[in-house]
Structure 1
Amino acid sequence: MNKFKIFSLALVASATVAQAQDIKEAKKAIDAEQFQKAKSLLKSIIKAKPSDGEANFVLGNVYLNQAIADSAKIYYTNGLQASDKKNLNYIGLGQLDLDNKNAAAAQANFALATKDVKRKDVDEFIYIGKAYTNSVNPDYNNAIASLKKALLIEPQNATALLAIGDAYYGANNQNEAYKSYRDAFTADPTLLRAKMQLGVLLKGAKSYDEAIKSFNEVIALNPNYGPVYRELAETYYKWGRNKPSTAKVNLQNAITNYEKYLSLTDYSLDSKMRHADFLILVKDYKSLETVANKMIAEDKVNPRIFRYLGYAAYENGNVDVAIKSIEDFVKVPTNKVIGSDYMYLGLAKIKKGTNAEGAVDQASFDSGVADIKKAVELEPLVVEELNEVGKALFGKKQFAQAATIFEFGALNKESKNYLDDNVYYGISVYYANANKSNGAADAAQLAKAEEAFDRILVASPTYDEAYLYKGRINNLLEKDDLIIKNYEEYLTRTTAKGAEELAKPATTKKVIEAYNSIGASYANTDKAKAVEYFNKTLVLDPTNAYASQSVKALK
């Protein structure tokens, strides 16, 4: 009987060790971003031992990391029924509360998670810190506070040091992040993510060559650690984007490293979606369309595939497929719609409504603009993607439509195209009104165009042509005093540049325009002044018909 008891206890101990090893393997798979493998391991643990609360919690975290909140909640809720470590699942529910901007509910769940912790327990504080950091609405101060509690108990806990490094990084405290990552790797030299994060800090500081050296040090320790190749890919991509002369080589390096990263993950649908996200980043839309079509053949249910199909179809010139695919995605209330979704939907409708021959389907164009507005509300800096679209419309002389597009960027000082968009917006509004075959000029639009040129002069005081266009705008509005004021300012600034500038044919043409416009503005109030300016034109161009006829009429 005693032998049987001993044998039974040995079996229980053996099963517990195996269970711990399985959890450890699942966590290793998560760190390696092999999420499908992790899910399979965790589901097998739960099936074998439904009372394992930690397995439910970790599986819920995997789903939450993949933005599948409904599945995450199911496993957290199941985990609360477990007998072992069920309290961890309150932390998962707390992160869901944070994601839903309910900080009070999150704190209540975190309090339940820590209510019965023992004096030396640290896992709860580490997981709470991670929840605050990883939430879609992060709270880095509370994350750091929770992780410091763990480190008071175990100062050399590598997992806690890595987690607090992530929190400091999120809070833009680079010095503390660096120290924490360094200490984490010192505490556990097998924790490659900590060493990798030192390279991430260098990447964030735009020290791309140093970041690459750092990542290569990780590869030297373990060439099969997949996440480091993803970081390399993103570093090469950012390097190419920030230094266009290196773009061709660096983008190819980015793609090569991302493919290496994929080869070290599980080729699940999720990893293919991450691949699709990266193809969008490097603007490889031909490959994106291929990948998206392969994914939809595997899984006709996952809605994100329609996003990829829509983006690729737009970039590859198939606007009807783009519109249908993205509309199929955004119309589902449970889908997490981002600014880029509405931007692509809007651009597809705009492209459909403005053909190369100059004809405009105003209803389609207006519908597209409405979607662009939604995109800007969600992500204000999507305006940076609109500059080329506006220039394409401008090139087709669709000036009213171009002005509508440029106005988005003209009002966002944070946009890298802020100055350029204001210039094009003002010019587009001017030409849209100057080219009207009938009807009065739109005074409200022209006033906004003048404001754009005023913004330009604040941002770039030497852009003298702003005064030329302000004069032209007021010409359309028939405001003689402002016509004179702005053209005279243009003449003063241009004359100050010297004889060489004035001798340029393009400058001479504009100076003549200014003289004639000022002359015309004085014609009804000061004939002598009017004749003076028309005569200045005739000095530069003795055959100028408008000036010579005006002089005759005024005498």
Structure 2
Amino acid sequence: MRNAKVLSLVLSAISTAVFAQDLEQAKKAIDAEQYDKAKKILRGLVKNSPDNGKNFFYLGDVYLREAKADSAVMIFNKGLAAKDKGTLNYIGLGQIDLDNKKASAQANFDKATANIKKKDVEELLLVAKAHTNSENPDYKKAIEITNKALLIDDKNPIAYLTMGDAQKGDKNAGEAFRAYETAYEYDKSLLIARVKYAAINKGAKNFTEAVKLLNGVIATDANFGPAYRELAETYYFWGSTEPAKYDEYIKKALQYYEKYMSLTDYSVESRMRHADFLILAKDYKALEIEANEMKKLDKVNPRILRYLGYAAYENGNYAESSKAMTEFFAKVEPKRIIARDYLYLGLTKMAEAKKADGTYDEKIFNEGVAELNKAVEKDPVIASELNPLGQKMFKEKLYKNASRLFEVAIKNPKSKNYFADNFYLGYALYFDYDPKTSPKDQLVKADAAFSKVIELNASTQDAHLFKARANEAMDTTESKKVALVAYEEYVKLVNAKGDAEKSKPVVKKNLIEAYTFVGAHYANSADKAKAIENLEKLLAIDPANAYATKTLKALKA
């Protein structure tokens, strides 16, 4: 009997050690972003050790990382029944409540921490992580909870790693730096801390230091995938700030991302991260290939349809893009829709609206404009991407369509193209104006656009010229006064530039137009001196001008 008891204790100890080793392997797989590998290990642990709640918690956490909340809820609920550490699963349920902005989140966190031992910090740190990782994060709460854990164990490397994530999220880069450094000092195996330290350097545009840190990680472990992913993203952003090296750095970025992919398990989740990067790098051929590979693995995930829609549009497959985006919107949860989804749905509709003769089906085109408006409302930065398409329409003399696009583009005053977008909006509205069919309000909008250009840069001579033309076309007493001031300002700006500017054929033609309007205005308003002054300037550049000759003769009679 005594030998049997000893054997039982030995087997129990071996089983516990194997479990711990397997759980640590699962955690390392999670850190390495090998989610399929982690799930395989954790499913085995859940099956073989159903009484240990940690197995369920970490499995549910992987599903949360993959945005599969329904699967995560099922796992967490099963884990609550586990005898050992089953209460950890309340933390997972609490994070899901945070994601959905439910007040019950705190109650779940309280249940998880209600009976922990005085020196136990595991639950506290996992609650802090939940506040950081949530779709609706509360970084200050995460910092507060992590500080409680550090009061209990001030040498815990995971506590400092958790603190770094929370401080980074709260935009305290200096504090995050220190936390990641301390985490690594206490545990040199925490390579993810070095990767995150490098990511802060990347965010601060200290690209040289970021690359140095990441190369150090690779020197320590050449198979640590996240280091290559971060290198890829670093070179992408570095190239974006140095246009002369953009092609070189993008090539490096794509190579590093391929290396990262080779070190993951090619799960749908890692492929999605790859797809997100390909969108950044504008490699739409590769994106379409990746999206089709994902579709083979997961036929129900709407994110895959998003990638297919984006790639198909950029590759000129508009019908395929329309099909994918329409299906995406039908399947995706509304809260998962991002601004870029509306952008591509709008662009796809516009592409489909173009007829064989080069014009647009206005009904479908306007549906596209409505989607673009939603995109800019959700993320104003999107507005800066509309200029090239608007210019293309303008060059094709599709002024009505161009004006609709630029009306969306100017909704973000901080856009890098705000000045040009207003200029083109004014042009498009003016050139599209037909006195017989267009509403006068169209000219009012054109005037507003040119006024904004002048506000941004008062020396823009053509903005004054077209402001004058738009107001002249309005043909009211007040608008003619505005036109007069604008024409005079145009003349003033041109003359200030000297003879080289005035000798340009198009400028000379515009000066004749301006002097004619100004001279006629003063002649009709009985300001003989100003009328004579402007008409003489008109004759100086156009000696054969019959109107100027005739009017001057009458004024001097």
TM-score when scaled to structure 2? 0.94
Q: How many residues align?
A: 551
Structure 1 stretch displaced more, 78-87 or 517-526: 517-526
The residue identity in structure 1 corresponding to 2:11 is L
Equivalent-residue separation in structure 2 for 1:298 and 1:77 (angstroms): 27
> What do residues 37-75 of structure 1 show as CA deviations (whole Å, max 9, x unaligned)?
001111111011222211111111111111111111111
The residue identity in structure 2 corresponding to 1:19 is F
> What do residues 492-531 of structure 1 show as CA deviations (whole Å, max 9, x unaligned)?
2332333443334343333222212323444643474556
Q: Is 1:52–1:84's contact at 8 Å kept on the other side of the alignment?
A: yes
> What do residues 15-53 of structure 1 show as CA deviations (whole Å, max 9, x unaligned)?
122111111110000000001100111111101122221
User: What's 2:482 paired with?
Assistant: 482
SS at match of 2:331: coil
Q: Is 1:80–1:87's contact at 8 Å kept on the other side of the alignment?
A: yes
After the TM superposition, which residues 164-203 of structure 1 pair with which residues of structure 2 at under 5 Å, given as runs?
Answer: 164-203=163-202
User: What's 2:39 paired with?
Assistant: 39
After the TM superposition, which residues 441-452 of structure 1 pair with which residues of structure 2 at under 5 Å, given as runs?
Answer: 442-452=439-449
Matched, 1:462 2:463: no
C-alpha displacement at 1:544, in angstroms?
4.3
Matched, 1:111 2:98: no
The residue identity in structure 1 corresponding to 2:384 is E
- Alpha-carbon distance change, 61 to 526 in structure 1, aligned in 2, over 3 angstroms: farther
Equivalent-residue separation in structure 2 for 1:547 and 1:6 (angstroms): 119
Q: Is 1:195–1:218's contact at 8 Å kept on the other side of the alignment?
A: yes
- Alpha-carbon distance change, 377 to 52 in structure 1, aligned in 2, over 3 angstroms: farther
User: What's 2:81 paired with?
Assistant: 81
User: What's 1:140 paired with?
Assistant: 139
Equivalent-residue separation in structure 1 for 2:166 and 2:297 (angstroms): 37
Aligned to 1:438, which of 433, 436, 439? 436
Equivalent-residue separation in structure 2 for 1:459 and 1:164 (angstroms): 44
After the TM superposition, which residues 204-215 of structure 1 pair with which residues of structure 2 at under 5 Å, given as runs?
Answer: 204-215=203-214
User: What's 2:57 paired with?
Assistant: 57
RMSD: 2.1
C-alpha displacement at 1:83, in angstroms?
1.4
- Alpha-carbon distance change, 178 to 428 in structure 1, aligned in 2, over 3 angstroms: same
Equivalent-residue separation in structure 2 for 1:202 and 1:445 (angstroms): 49
The residue identity in structure 1 corresponding to 2:538 is T
SS at match of 1:132: helix
Q: Is 2:467–2:486's contact at 8 Å kept on the other side of the alignment?
A: yes
Equivalent-residue separation in structure 1 for 2:549 and 2:404 (angstroms): 40
- Alpha-carbon distance change, 553 to 480 in structure 1, aligned in 2, over 3 angstroms: farther
User: What's 1:349 paired with?
Assistant: 349
> What do residues 307-345 of structure 1 show as CA deviations (whole Å, max 9, x unaligned)?
111111111112111111100001125362211111111
User: What's 2:541 paired with?
Assistant: 540
C-alpha displacement at 1:120, in angstroms?
0.6
Structure 1 stretch displaced more, 456-465 or 216-225: 456-465
Q: Is 2:383–2:411's contact at 8 Å kept on the other side of the alignment?
A: no
Equivalent-residue separation in structure 2 for 1:44 and 1:73 (angstroms): 19
The residue identity in structure 2 corresponding to 1:111 is D
Structure 1 stretch displaced more, 480-489 or 517-526: 517-526
- Alpha-carbon distance change, 548 to 402 in structure 1, aligned in 2, over 3 angstroms: farther
- Alpha-carbon distance change, 533 to 151 in structure 1, aligned in 2, over 3 angstroms: same
- In structure 1, stretches of 5+ residues that fail to align are none
User: What's 1:473 paired with?
Assistant: 470
SS at match of 2:197: helix
- Alpha-carbon distance change, 522 to 323 in structure 1, aligned in 2, over 3 angstroms: farther
User: What's 2:272 paired with?
Assistant: 273
- Alpha-carbon distance change, 173 to 400 in structure 1, aligned in 2, over 3 angstroms: same
After the TM superposition, which residues 352-363 of structure 1 pair with which residues of structure 2 at under 5 Å, given as runs?
Answer: 352-355=352-355, 357-363=357-363
Equivalent-residue separation in structure 2 for 1:526 and 1:71 (angstroms): 84
- In structure 2, stretches of 5+ residues that fail to align are none
C-alpha displacement at 1:413, in angstroms?
2.1
- Alpha-carbon distance change, 108 to 485 in structure 1, aligned in 2, over 3 angstroms: same
Q: Is 1:480–1:522's contact at 8 Å kept on the other side of the alignment?
A: no
C-alpha displacement at 1:547, in angstroms?
5.1
The residue identity in structure 2 corresponding to 1:533 is N
Equivalent-residue separation in structure 1 for 2:545 and 2:58 (angstroms): 82
Equivalent-residue separation in structure 2 for 1:548 and 1:40 (angstroms): 93
> What do residues 356-398 of structure 1 show as CA deviations (whole Å, max 9, x unaligned)?
8441210110111111122223222111221111111111111
> What do residues 134-188 of structure 1 show as CA deviations (whole Å, max 9, x unaligned)?
1111111111101111111111211111111111111111111111111111111
**% same residue:** 47
SS at match of 1:5: helix
The residue identity in structure 2 corresponding to 1:262 is M
C-alpha displacement at 1:302, in angstroms?
2.4
Equivalent-residue separation in structure 2 for 1:374 and 1:546 (angstroms): 52
- Alpha-carbon distance change, 552 to 39 in structure 1, aligned in 2, over 3 angstroms: farther
After the TM superposition, which residues 388-403 of structure 1 pair with which residues of structure 2 at under 5 Å, given as runs?
Answer: 388-403=388-403
Equivalent-residue separation in structure 2 for 1:428 and 1:39 (angstroms): 56
> What do residues 398-432 of structure 1 show as CA deviations (whole Å, max 9, x unaligned)?
11211111122212123222222222222222222
User: What's 2:92 paired with?
Assistant: 92
User: What's 1:339 paired with?
Assistant: 339
Equivalent-residue separation in structure 2 for 1:299 and 1:41 (angstroms): 21
SS at match of 2:86: coil
- Alpha-carbon distance change, 97 to 521 in structure 1, aligned in 2, over 3 angstroms: farther
- Alpha-carbon distance change, 80 to 445 in structure 1, aligned in 2, over 3 angstroms: farther
C-alpha displacement at 1:550, in angstroms?
6.8
Equivalent-residue separation in structure 2 for 1:42 and 1:258 (angstroms): 27
Q: Is 1:410–1:452's contact at 8 Å kept on the other side of the alignment?
A: no
TM-score when scaled to structure 1? 0.94
Equivalent-residue separation in structure 2 for 1:351 and 1:527 (angstroms): 55
User: What's 1:257 paired with?
Assistant: 256
Q: Is 2:306–2:328's contact at 8 Å kept on the other side of the alignment?
A: yes
Equivalent-residue separation in structure 2 for 1:450 and 1:437 (angstroms): 16
C-alpha displacement at 1:545, in angstroms?
6.0
